[in-house]
Amino acid sequence: MYTEKEVAATIDHAVLKPDQTEQDLRANAAMCIERGVASMCVRPCDIKLAAELLNDSPVMVSCVLSFPHGADTTAVKAFQAEQAIKDGAQEIDMVMNVGQFLSGNYDAVRADIEAVVDVAHRAGVIVKVIQESCYLTLEQVAKACELACEAGADFVKTSTGFGPSSATPEIIAVMLETVGDRMKVKASGGIRDWATAVAYLEQGVARLGIGATATVLDGGRSAADY
């Protein structure tokens, strides 16, 4: 049985929608501090303000990179990582280049992740690799996990929350079976109630990506799409 505090401590609270404002960021930061989440995950343009708002709190600043399609060049991704860290990011959630992966260009995908990992790890920043696994078969999920592991990433993550579907227990099972002894797993997207959140934690994930954090922690069910 998980307590509210225990679940909150696993949540990367997402503030990633295109129409969210600076006022929204401030309100969400206050909520994150009050509820004791692991991190607030923000867009790159919001990192500096998020770092200011969360300063002197235990809540980390996490950010997305090459979101939501993973289609930036490797050089751009490495620069984005450098800038994010300079602005105050403590964790980076990068999107795998889905198109390159589906093309079978595995060396390029691995090198893409490695470039971000190299920048981040020099600064003590962890890297989560978002597969956007709704586009992958379960066999491909396993392959993507292996590539992320070979590239030195710290986490594999299911989804951006902006694709056609989100995390599923089946996808999480494959991730855990493939790299669970070497990496951590983050379930993200579609976690809109307490039961779903707890079920993923019981399955073995280390982090949850949630947009409706307060609703989930209060035992409600969010009608939002993230």
Residue of 77, 128, 143, 157 with catalytic role: 157
Rounded Cα distance, 154 and 148, in Å: 8
User: Any catalytic annotation for residue 46?
Assistant: no
Residue of 93, 112, 128, 184 with catalytic role: 93
Residue the block writes with tokens 């450098």? 82
Peptide bond into 58 cis (omega under 30): no
Q: What are phi and psi of 128, to 5 degrees?
A: -110, 135
Rounded Cα distance, 151 and 192, in Å: 31
User: Any catalytic annotation for residue 128?
Assistant: no
**Long-range contact list for 26-29, CB < 8 A, 24+ apart?**
26/53, 29/53, 29/54, 29/59
- In sequence order, the 6+-apart residues with CB closer than 8 A to the CB of 171 are 133, 138, 141, 158
User: Any catalytic annotation for residue 93?
Assistant: yes
Q: Which residues are catalytic, by number?
A: 93, 157, 186
